[in-house]
Amino acid sequence: MGSLDMAVLTGFICRICSKMNKVVTHVYGEEGKKINLANQLQNYLGVDIFFNNDLPKTVCNSCIVKLKMHYEWMEIIKNAQTRIKNKRLKTRMERDRRS
């Protein structure tokens, strides 16, 4: 069995970057559940991690940090879009009142 296969079996390979790591977070472990890792991976990256298949269920800290940054960036974008739409609506309402 190759080292990659062994890393998958022992749970030290990241599902996102496929690198072997000594420190990983199990998606369905205590920490993974606490940060809602499975949902974040599915919602933001489109990666489904199922409990009952033989694919890795661990994510390295580097990928978790990048996922968090991606989430924060997406929130900034959503908030900016809301502000832009609200400003446009306010401008239209003011223009309509003057008409």
Q: What is the mean pLDDT of the segment spanning 2-19?
A: 72
First-last CA distance in the chain: 77
51 has a pLDDT exceeding 90: no
Distance between CA atoms of residues 39 and 64, nearest Å = 13
Chain segment 22-50, per-residue pLDDT in tens: 899 999 999 999 999 999 999 989 999 99
Mean pLDDT of 5-13: 63
Model confidence band, residue 1 (pLDDT cutoffs 50, 70, 90): very low
Judge whether 60 is annotated as a binding position.
yes
Ligand-binding site membership of 89 (annotated): no
- CATH topology (fold) of 10-95: His-Me finger endonuclease fold (3.40.1800)
Q: What is the pLDDT of residues 62-82, one digit of tens each?
A: 999 999 999 999 999 999 999
pTM: 0.73
Residue carrying structure tokens 């991606």: 70
Residue 83 marked in a binding site: no
Residue 17 annotated as lining a ligand binding site: yes
Q: Based on the number of CB atoms within 10 Å of its own CB, is 59 exposed (0-12), middle (13-18) or buried (19 or more)? A: buried
Neighbours of 13 (CB within 10 A): 25
Strand intervals (E) in 32-84:
58-60
Q: What residue ranges do the domains of the chain occupy? A: 10-95
